[in-house]
Structures are given as C-alpha cells and as structure tokens.
Amino acid sequence: MSVKEEVTHLDRDSMEVTYLVLSGLPGMMRRVVNAWKIEKIDDNSCIVRSDANFDLAWWILPLVPLMKLQMKGAIKSFLREMKTAAENS
C-alpha cells in the first residue's frame, strides 16, 4: 500500500514542514496531519519535533489506549533509526 501526502506548509528558513495524508490510510483513520520542526542547538546538535494529529473513526475509539501502547514502540524504534541515520550521515 502506498501513501499519498500533500505538503501544506514549508518554511526552509525556520526548518518547518507540515503535511496532510491524502490517501493510503487504514480505514480506521479519517485524517492525519503531521508537522515537523527542526531546532538547531549548535553546529552538531538539533531537536526534531513532530506534532501528529489523527482523526479516527468512531468505532475504533475504544481501542485508542491499545493503539497508544503500540505507537510508543513504533515511535521509539523510528527515533532510534533517525538518530543512527543522523549521526552516520
């Protein structure tokens, strides 16, 4: 399955990007928007922030606590991979 996204905000100077997922979402997700911002600390360090918002179908709401647990693991794995890629680039 492929995901189609549209960039809705891009500011290269402030290193911000926001995108909306247009298609390819699982049926339980109605809308997903994600905003990324990179904040420089010094020449060798930065902080990457992501603010993801999910609009879910009503019938999945009872499972949200389980979804949060699953997402925590996926996010931790993603962040480890991102850190490794950044440090080895």
Classified as helix, coil or strand, 10 is strand
φ and ψ at residue 73, rounded to 5 degrees: -65, -45
Question: Phi and psi at residue 86, in whole multiples of 5°?
Answer: -65, -40
Task: Record the pTM.
Answer: 0.76
d(CA 56, CA 54): 6
Alpha helices of the chain — where are they, by DSSP H?
64-87
CATH class of segment(s) 4-87: alpha beta
pLDDT at 75: 87
Task: Let me know: does 57 contact 29? Beta carbons within 8 Å.
Answer: yes
Report pLDDT for 87.
84
**Residue with the larger pLDDT of the pair 45 and 19:** 19
Query: What's the pLDDT tens digit per position in 35-85?
Result: 999 999 998 888 989 999 999 999 999 999 998 898 898 888 988 998 898
Distance CA 63, CA 50 (A): 23
